[in-house]
Amino acid sequence: MASELFSPLSLRSGQVLGNRIAKAAMEENLAGDGQLPDRRLTALYRRWAAGGAGLLITGNVMVHAAALTGPGGVVLDDAAPLEPFAEWAKAGKAGGVAMWMQINHPGRQVQADMPGVVWGPSDVGVDLGRHSSRFGRPVAMTPAQIEDTVARFAVTALRAEQAGFDGVEVHAAHGYLLSQFLSPLVNRRTDAWGGSLENRARMLLEVVRAVRAVVSPAFAVAVKLNSADFQRGGFDVDDARRVIALLEPLGIDLVELSGGSYESPAMTGRPADTRTRAREAYFLDLATDLAKASPLPLMLTGGITRRDTALRVLDSGVAVIGMGTALAVTPDLPDRWRHGREAERQLRPVTWSDKALASSASMAQVRHQMRRIARGSAPRPAIHPAYALLSEERRRRRALRRYRAWLPASLGTATASRPL
């Protein structure tokens, strides 16, 4: 079984992953001037490329300059220069590692102080109780805006291939725009883009079709999908099973399974849970169920930190092990596993009762490790979550000032056929 972890995996596109371990997407918030990747991202991914994984997936790259999850987000649209992305791709592919770009639109999950647009399938805002005001109030997208956004995904995918990336992953999980369309709680439309699951999945399917139509057959196309939203009446495992079946004829190479959203942040785990199994491979039970009948290879991400857990995931029928936080703390963890070693340290757990705040602090801790790696320092997983959160907020304010100054000029140079 250990050898299977380091066995190659052939995908539909003809691409072959060197082993079954993937660095999953984490939102780095490390965009430089012009919302472009700079030396920090190239240094970070060069370090991961040397760590032994078979696949690296970038943090989400935005398809729409006026719709970012945060002011430190990278944008690849029809106006962005390709050279910085080519450097990023080259760094990630060092040593023969496959490098995919995750492409995304935040939809309604845009903070209230951000310029630009806040869109959703319906005008249903993010409900975080007393923290709800942190997010902008969304407006329901028009059919023209939906179709234009589908086209934006295709533009970003094509330009990613031109920059030298090996594939893209379409983000349809964690409550972002495509996940919002899939959710019966958020998507209350009565037109062709809402109602039945087939209609709610229509935007995701159109994005995949549009991407596949413009990239080469050898370019990998994957989808990140929630195994469940973990909200009563929301997208569930039966919906996920049906969406995977709908994706199968469209030339998809891999479906990554995760779960949760800003409203129910299951993807950040349950570190306060005393049961080891609950703190590892959060979505394994759902993934095992889906793997039994999935016509596509599956990747599972969420809480995998030890080799025996990874082997248990592979034994369930999942084809690829996705790790995020574990690789932010121990960038060479795959190589360690190959030689029978484990990580020596883990992040300090966040046990705050406020789930929304705890989720933000957990993500701030992870980004703190990535910033350290990017500047050539060792991770420091013992950092206090409150310090990480405050430090993150200071950086965010600086990035927000830059983004506010950059966005109007960017919209002025965007293609005229691409309205806001």
In a domain, 419, yes or no: no
Residue 234 maps to a domain: yes
pLDDT of residue 303: 85
In which residue ranges of the chain is pLDDT below 50? 1, 265-279, 414-418
Any domain includes 418: no
pLDDT of residue 229: 63
Using CA atoms, how far apart are residues 295 and 297, in angstroms rounded to an integer? 7
Q: Residue 68 corresponds to which tokens in the numbers above? A: 């970012």
Q: Say which CATH number the domain at 157 has.
A: 3.20.20.70
Residue-wise pLDDT for 210-233, tens only, equals: 999 999 999 999 999 988 666 676
The count of residues in the chain is 420
What letters, b where the CB count within 10 A reaches 16 and e where it falls short, cover 389-404?
beebeebbeebbebbe
Tell me phi and psi for residue 230, to 5 degrees: 60, 40
- What domain range includes position 90? 2-413
Residue 420 included in any domain: no
Domain-embedded: residue 266: yes
Answering whether pTM is above 0.85, one says yes
Q: What is the total count of domains within the chain?
A: 1
Pairing, β 21-23 against β 254-258 = unpaired
Q: Is residue 138 part of a domain?
A: yes
